Structure 1
């Protein structure tokens, strides 16, 4: 039988072991609490930093318009947005003799684009656009273009004024091209060169060289001109009956990726391959195009 001294020694050892285990448990608890506290503190610091940036960041440094190139584009567009205000149709232009039965040719009624303007675009959203210089030298519009809302297009022709709502949000690259070209007087003085009157009902314009070709006695050369760059189609309709309804303003091309500056105005519901960018919708002046169509082709 163990002595009392041995029993006391064993009891002391058991007590010391229990105290050691308890001390280890306490240390582990403190370590976990310190870790949790550290993570929470770090998260709090990050949240505070983010809130500080949002609260104290200058407002003029937020959004696409803070880009100096975009800001310059908007300023130029605003300066040119009233360039046709007060311009009246000249009433000039000859009415030639239409060829009976001809359904695709030069309009018998001369149509001149006497002044062309675009309202300033909305740059609350932007999109990157790839404009390919045809010869590697011709300038192109800005790579990044406004891509929100609509713009108003105003075309003062010799026969009257045509206006259209341009779908900048869905066709930003095309709208951006027109905005740039309009402020550079690109369309002013051009002549619409093609009219179709059977199955396809459109008046085509936008060739910078068409008027010189017609007046120079080589009308067959009209329709060959471009702004010196090309870009991809966008905002294409579905393939369906009358997918280009009356009043549509759309882009001509010579194949995929060759959209330039030539456009056509649809004056009667037309079915076409869904290959031509829909730029917008005529809001006034469609009757002018209808009158040109009634005069026939030559």
Structure 2
């Protein structure tokens, strides 16, 4: 009896041992499969990352093309013709502008239409003879003979503004080097706009009033010859303080007041033109 009981106990122990060994084999097998699965997952993730980088990362050829495009943008060393209209490369600062006293004699009634609350020049202005305008810049002096007799309202406006130092410290903001050949000045706010990195804001300023055009040329070729000092405008009746200096014979619609003729210093403007525009 004892012998049979011993046999049963031995058989039970053997069964338990076999079951334990089987469980251990299964545990090890699961561990191996988990390891293989983990490695596989890492491989898959790596492949996905590589694909994502390949598809979405910046292309080296594209970067090079962008750099090439940037390098072909006009620079100060290139021909001015590559930028036919822009801010002069050579800054032109008007240190001061003065007007000689007008001649006595005839007068004209001028209509200065306010656009802000700014005070306007007197309505009655001298209308005889000529005046001398002197523009002092850091690049040299420019003088012009102002046709007061034929452009009395514009001449009177300049005499009024120059007497207040309106143009002093201002910067010429526009140079054209193709089709028309002019240097444009007279915006008191242009310098601040350019120095703040806002060239689009240059050319928007004025004296706070407008006037009608006068002393217009004929519609003809080169009706604004080299040396002409004329007035810019934004349409009929909008002449303000902005003016342009013509450094090479230019044809324009006969819409811009001719204020006078440069008598000395045209070479200053021509040198600015030779440097080109940005």
- TM-score for the superposition, normalised by structure 2: 0.72
- In the alignment of these two chains, the number of paired residues is 202
Work out which of the residue numbers 140, 149, 154 in structure 1 matches 2:120: 140
User: Alignment partner of 2:107: what SS?
Assistant: strand
Work out which of the residue numbers 103, 108, 118 in structure 2 matches 1:122: 103
Structure 1 counterpart of 2:209: 229
Give 1:138 deviation, angstroms.
1.0
Structure of larger gyration radius? 2
| Runs of 4 or more above 4 Å deviation | none
Deviation readout 1:175-232 (Å, 9 max, x if unpaired): 0000000010000000000000011000000001000000011011100000000000
Alignment of 1:70-81 (within 5 A): none
Work out which of the residue numbers 237, 240, 248 in structure 1 matches 2:228: 248
Alpha-carbon distance in structure 2 between the residues aligned to 1:113 and 1:199: 26
Deviation readout 1:34-93 (Å, 9 max, x if unpaired): xxxxxxxxxxxxxxxxxxxxxxxxxxxxxxxxxxxxxxxxxxxxxxxxxxxxxxxxxxxx
User: Alignment partner of 1:198: what SS?
Assistant: coil
**What RMSD, in angstroms, separates the aligned Cα atoms of the two structures?**
1.0
User: Alignment partner of 1:200: what SS?
Assistant: coil
Give 1:97 deviation, angstroms.
2.0
Alpha-carbon distance in structure 1 between the residues aligned to 2:110 and 2:196: 36
User: Alignment partner of 2:273: what SS?
Assistant: helix
Work out which of the residue numbers 87, 90, 98 in structure 2 matches 1:109: 90
Structure 2 counterpart of 1:260: 240
Structure 2 counterpart of 1:271: 251
Unpaired segments ≥5 residues, structure 1? 1-95
Unpaired segments ≥5 residues, structure 2? 1-74
Give 1:99 deviation, angstroms.
5.8
Work out which of the residue numbers 136, 139, 154 in structure 2 matches 1:174: 154
Task: Give the conservation status (yes or no) of the 8 Å contact 1:98–1:297.
Answer: no
Alpha-carbon distance in structure 2 between the residues aligned to 1:288 and 1:143: 34
Task: Give the conservation status (yes or no) of the 8 Å contact 1:98–1:108.
Answer: no
Give 1:122 deviation, angstroms.
1.3
User: Alignment partner of 1:256: what SS?
Assistant: coil
Work out which of the residue numbers 181, 186, 197 in structure 1 matches 2:177: 197
- TM-score for the superposition, normalised by structure 1: 0.67
Deviation readout 1:71-128 (Å, 9 max, x if unpaired): xxxxxxxxxxxxxxxxxxxxxxxxx826651100000000000011000001300000
